[in-house]
Amino acid sequence: MNRSMMRLRNVFFVALFLLLSCSMCFADGTLYQYSTIDSLLLGNYDGELTVAGLLEHGDVGLGTFNGLDGEMVLVDGIVYRINKRGEAETVTSASRTPFAVAARFKTDSILKIDNVTSLEDLNRKIDSALGSENIFYVVRIDGEFGSVRARSVPPQKKPYPPLVDVVKEQGVFKFSKIKGSLIGVRCPAYVAGIGVDGFHWHFITEDRKSGGHVLDCSFANLPAKVGAYTNFLLQLPETSDFLGADLQKDKKNELKKVEKNPGSS
């Protein structure tokens, strides 16, 4: 091999190394999302993304499954489905999702949360400690909780009703003095309609047998591990339902009803 060929080969490998390194750095600081929350609110409950595909983008996250068949909790690289009875189970890599968020979890800061009386209280305390409201965060809280109020919904059949109607049939579960993990995603206000602006929390018990979408919680003296993400990767579905959907209407009020704790006023 002559010198020019050797130089060309070396340049190629250096460029390839830099490209792969940049890709890995980008992935580590990226919050990935499949589809939009407004699409889910509208009733688009079938997506193309598999669990295997989702895991390429992270080891922590949340979402749901095709047909709105339960709440999704992604923790420690394993995807769990929380069914309508609040029971958790692992899913196959071929399972699909119409909406999910994932990231490679990293701890940029640890917040010491002393006493939390409600989910709103938790959100306020974390918000007050964040450096900026204009980037994305993933929060993980592990330990014993005084109480957790969570929900899941029954699987739906076509023609799919909007999500605001589905949650009227949700199952609500109350956990007391339970060990587990809260997984939260916080999105900036400017992504309203794309993601859940503000906090979105899911819970799974330490034994990985129960959980759900969090409606309320309380605890004392638990650390919150916070990862900050300045890259946001949105993948849009290519299904006919999504491509033909009317996503121009403001669904903020519907989202509030969907997220609302049925035990509150």
Q: What is the pLDDT along the chain (265 residues), one digit of tens a residue?
A: 555 444 445 444 434 443 444 444 445 799 999 999 999 999 999 999 999 999 999 999 999 999 999 999 999 999 999 999 999 999 999 999 999 999 999 999 999 999 999 999 999 999 999 989 999 999 999 999 999 999 999 999 999 999 999 999 999 999 999 999 999 999 999 999 999 999 999 999 999 999 999 999 999 999 999 999 999 999 999 999 999 999 999 999 999 999 876 544 3
Torsion of CA 159, 163, 168, 173, to 10 degrees: 120
CATH number assigned to the domain comprising residue 79: 3.30.1330.80
User: What confidence score (pLDDT) does residue 87 get?
Assistant: 98
Q: Tokens standing for 165? A: 């109607």
Residue 31 belongs to some domain of the structure = yes
| Cβ density class 239-257: b for 16+ within 10 Å, e for less | bebbeebeeeeebeebbee
Q: What is the number of domains present in the chain?
A: 1
Residue 135 belongs to some domain of the structure = yes
User: What confidence score (pLDDT) does residue 20 get?
Assistant: 43
Cα–Cα distance for residue pair 243/103, rounded to 1 Å: 26
- pTM of the predicted structure, to 2 decimals: 0.88
User: What confidence score (pLDDT) does residue 184 get?
Assistant: 98
Residue 1 belongs to some domain of the structure = no
- Reported in sequence order, the residue ranges of 206-254 that DSSP labels E, i.e. its strands, are 211-229, 231-235
Cβ neighbour number for residue 76 with a 10 Å cutoff: 10
Cα–Cα separations (whole angstroms), residue 98 to 6, 210, 236: 48, 22, 10
Residue 66 belongs to some domain of the structure = yes
Residue 65 belongs to some domain of the structure = yes
User: What confidence score (pLDDT) does residue 24 get?
Assistant: 44
Residue 264 belongs to some domain of the structure = no
Query: Using alpha carbons only, what angle is made at residue 233 by residues 187 and 152, rounded to the nearest 5 degrees?
Result: 55
User: What confidence score (pLDDT) does residue 2 get?
Assistant: 56
Burial class (CB in 10 A: 0-12, 13-18, 19+), 65: buried
Residue 7 belongs to some domain of the structure = no
User: Domain of 122?
Assistant: 25-259
Residue 211 belongs to some domain of the structure = yes
